Amino acid sequence: MKMLHLLTLVLLAYARMASPESGLAHPTSIFILSGQSNMSGRGGVGRVKWDGIVPPECTSSPSILRLGPKLTWEEAEEPLHADIDLNKTLGVGPGMSFAHTVLAQEPSLGPIGLVPCAIGGTNITEWARGGLLYGDMVRRAKAAVNHGGTIRAILWYQGESDTIIKEDALRYKQRLVKFIQDVRSDLKLPTLPFIQVGLATALGPYIDIVRAAQFGVKLPNVKIVDAKGLPLEWDNVHLNTPAEVKLGQMLAHSFLHDF
């Protein structure tokens, strides 16, 4: 009896170490969210602050966790990139609606673990292997599977900042391909699904070149959903909350049906 009790205690201690705080289950399916502000989320951000409105598609759930800045699992809540995309006013992004849609269609994939890594205003050169952003992303991805679970996909919404200078736009495809190959290689997941978001409009004039690059990636297991037609915030710079909800659903649909 005493022995059994001791064993239980040891098991409990181990479970606590390997699992998220407050009795949450450890995630089974893990997704990396990366790129710029539209992935991080600015939906509902006004001139000064976020309106705080969380649509029903983005509510918290014990089945949806996020890897926090200290590499621990916690119940996910909007804004998903809080304390990750620093010094910005954050709002709703696509992550929560993505997770809810995946769970609704494939409950067996839960609990879901989201690993927010997107940083607003970044260009693809800054995401190259060897840089800080890349290093943080890979470190967070590895920490996410430290105690189990499987990385199922990378969701990538980036390229807006590479539409400003023609040289950057022209090099985008080569840099993106290298980025995908490097991440897959460093995570030792050579066929990891990679879902990008096709830019609708952009910050600079060379959007067509970057879009062509995005749609022209010929690597296996790279898919794309198109942001064209999604509504923007008052600032004309970011997707609004309904657009982010829709985008999350599009990403989920791609993940569930394109691979």
Ligand X SMILES: *[C@@H]1O[C@H](CO)[C@@H](O)[C@H](O)[C@H]1NC(C)=O
Give the Cα separation of 34 and 155 in Å (integer): 6
Give the Cα separation of 165 and 175 in Å (integer): 15
168 lines the binding site for ligand X (CB under 6 A): yes
Q: Where are the beta strands (DSSP E) in the chain?
A: 29-35, 64-67, 73-75, 112-116, 150-157, 194-198, 222-226
Pick the closest to residue 195 from 245, 257, 153 (CA basis): 153
Name the minimum Å distance from CB 228 to ligand X. 7
Binding mask 34-73 for ligand X (x = CB under 6 A): --xxx-----------------------------------
The residue from 83, 208, 235, 258 that is catalytic is 235
Name the minimum Å distance from CB 15 to ligand X. 35
Stretch that binds ligand X, among 6-14, 45-53, 143-151, 233-241 (CB under 6 A): 233-241
Strand 73-75 and strand 64-67: pairing? Answer: antiparallel
200 lines the binding site for ligand X (CB under 6 A): yes
The residue from 34, 63, 162, 238 that is catalytic is 238
Name the minimum Å distance from CB 87 to ligand X. 4
Residue nearest to ligand X (CB): 160
113-125 burial code (b ≥16 CB/10 A, e <16): bbbbbbbbebbbe
Residue 161 one-letter amino acid: S
Name the minimum Å distance from CB 86 to ligand X. 4
Give the Cα separation of 206 and 52 in Å (integer): 34
For residue 29, indicate whether it is catalytic: no
Residues in CB range of 135: below 8 A, 6 or more apart: none
Q: Which is nearer to ligand X, 63 or 214 (CB)?
A: 214
In the complex, the residues that contact ligand X under the rule CB under 6 A are 36-38, 86-87, 123, 125-126, 160-161, 164-165, 168, 199-203, 227, 237-239
Q: Which residues are catalytic?
A: 37, 235, 238
